[in-house]
Amino acid sequence: MATVMYIPEYRQNRFALRAVINYCMQEYKTYDSKSKCKLVSGINCDGTNAFREFMATKKIYGKDNGFFFYHYAQSFSPKEKITPEQAHEIALEFAERAWSGHEVLVTTHCDREHIHSHFVINSVGFELGKKLRQSPSTLKQLRKLSDEICQAHGFSVLQPYAGGSRGMSSGEYRAREKGESWKQKLAEDIDKAMEYSGSKGEFIRSMSILGYQMTWKDTRKNITFHCPNGKKCCDDKLHDSKYLKENIERELHQREFPGGENQPTGWETSRERYEQHLRERAQSKVETQRIADSYSNVGSGISSLAGAVSHIVDNDTDDPDERRKRIEAEENGEALGTIIGKGIDLIAGAVPKSTAEETTQEADYSSVIDRQREEILQEVFEEDDYDEEDDEDEGFNMSM
């Protein structure tokens, strides 16, 4: 599936135009190793000479001032089976139909998991010298055109986005490109929490484990997420309709009360993973009970696997080998407790990085934290005594 994004460029002069063109044309981003081609083209211009042609058109009509250019991107999902060449072909057709009468630089980047194309449009038309004008409905029209072209080529499209009207900022887009976007991290954590949540209460608890609080009221149209970094983000600023309050609430309601009429929410894949977790949890319970039952004849009063093991070790304290095993088991248990404790401290930000060497390993550090957070989230999901009503008393419900 593909979506079109408007990338605001607030600096509007010849230097900013050159900088954006240079960014879009970088060889390591545009070179397709399979086709051995550099995916740089132009509509109504020579792509490799776009800057000079843009400036020449402006000077011919005396309009080398004011708004210089527009910048858009068309991005495909990593799950879409599309080649860079196909994406570039679609991008060229899209640019020709979207900005007729204007010079457009088209470049396709294939250095990331998601293949995407950039469009830099000269604000001055080369035929009549008229300036290109955009309106609040322009992005909606461009996305509709993109969907038509993608479907004609046999590719999937996104559900219509009903969120805020603001496009993705230039800084946010480039942060996502570098994997440094905190909003993208928020979206990924929401995805993770939804895989372990079957109700609103469970979702609130899962997000709190991951370090988030939420302002979630029936009287408000949107959910506001309060992130561990101190920043806040409204659901309609995450650039995907599935994160909107109405879709999250609808999905959680359908999970909590299955069997009713299922309406599209954008969370269908996540629901399959949640149901898989439920099945795995049920199988784990059956296996645990089977093992516990196998020890039920060890002695009266022993009803659990832990009790049975303890009983066996206690009655064999004269056996040196058994004593060694018991000591090792206790030491391993203490080590496991320490690891889990440190994992929780890391989530809360209680373990600071104090040395320069640790700072240089920030990427690895973040990876460890993410892994520990997910492990703890899964551990909590598998608890047997979870009660949403108890959570409200214990401060898990973070609605404000």
Q: How confident is the model at residue 355 (pLDDT cuts 50, 70, 90)?
A: very low
Residues 305-320 pLDDT 10s: 444 444 444 444 445 5
Based on the fold, state whether residues 190 and 163 are members of the same structural domain.
Answer: no
60 is a domain residue? yes
pLDDT for residue 353: 45
124 is a domain residue? yes
CB atoms within 10 A of CB 89: 18
Based on the fold, state whether residues 371 and 227 are members of the same structural domain.
Answer: yes
Based on the fold, state whether residues 251 and 213 are members of the same structural domain.
Answer: yes
Rg (CA), the chain: 28
Q: Which domain holds residue 55?
A: 2-176
Residues 209-223 pLDDT 10s: 888 999 999 999 999
Based on the fold, state whether residues 200 and 220 are members of the same structural domain.
Answer: yes
318 is a domain residue? no
Based on the fold, state whether residues 247 and 142 are members of the same structural domain.
Answer: no
SS3 8: coil
Q: How confident is the model at residue 135 (pLDDT cuts 50, 70, 90)?
A: confident
Contact assessment for residue 94 and residue 149, using Cβ atoms and an 8 Å cutoff: yes
Based on the fold, state whether residues 167 and 189 are members of the same structural domain.
Answer: no
The CATH number of whichever domain residue 23 belongs to comes to: 3.30.930
User: Of 176, 208, 237, which residue is a domain's last?
Assistant: 176
Based on the fold, state whether residues 43 and 156 are members of the same structural domain.
Answer: yes
Please give the single-letter amino acid code of residue 116: H
Place of tokens 């399979």: 34
DSSP codes of every residue in 134-179 = --TTHHHHHHHHHHHHHHHTT--BPPPP-S-S----HHHHHHHHHT
49 is a domain residue? yes
In the chain, the percentage of residues whose pLDDT exceeds 90 is 40
Q: Is the pLDDT of residue 302 over 90?
A: no
265 is a domain residue? yes
Based on the fold, state whether residues 187 and 168 are members of the same structural domain.
Answer: no
Q: How confident is the model at residue 158 (pLDDT cuts 50, 70, 90)?
A: low
pTM for this prediction: 0.47
User: Of 151, 176, 201, which residue is a domain's last?
Assistant: 176
222 is a domain residue? yes
Based on the fold, state whether residues 52 and 186 are members of the same structural domain.
Answer: no
Contact assessment for residue 78 and residue 3, using Cβ atoms and an 8 Å cutoff: no
Based on the fold, state whether residues 30 and 126 are members of the same structural domain.
Answer: yes
Place of tokens 């561990």: 228
d(C-alpha 248, C-alpha 251), whole Å: 5
Based on the fold, state whether residues 152 and 240 are members of the same structural domain.
Answer: no
Contact assessment for residue 43 and residue 106, using Cβ atoms and an 8 Å cutoff: yes
Based on the fold, state whether residues 170 and 227 are members of the same structural domain.
Answer: no
Q: Is the pLDDT of residue 140 over 50?
A: yes
SS3 251: helix
Average pLDDT of the segment spanning 82-92: 94
Q: Is the pLDDT of residue 289 over 50?
A: yes
Q: Which residue has the higher pLDDT, 387 or 62?
A: 62
Among candidates 243, 187, 245, which has minimal Cα distance to 399?
245
User: Of 157, 176, 195, which residue is a domain's last?
Assistant: 176
363 is a domain residue? yes
In the chain, the percentage of residues whose pLDDT exceeds 70 is 67
Average pLDDT of the segment spanning 227-242: 90
Q: Which of 15-29, 158-172, 240-254 has the lowest mean pLDDT?
A: 158-172
Average pLDDT of the segment spanning 370-391: 53
Q: Is the pLDDT of residue 195 over 50?
A: yes
pLDDT for residue 90: 95
Q: How many domains does the chain have?
A: 2
Among candidates 104, 89, 87, which has minimal Cα distance to 21?
104
307 is a domain residue? no
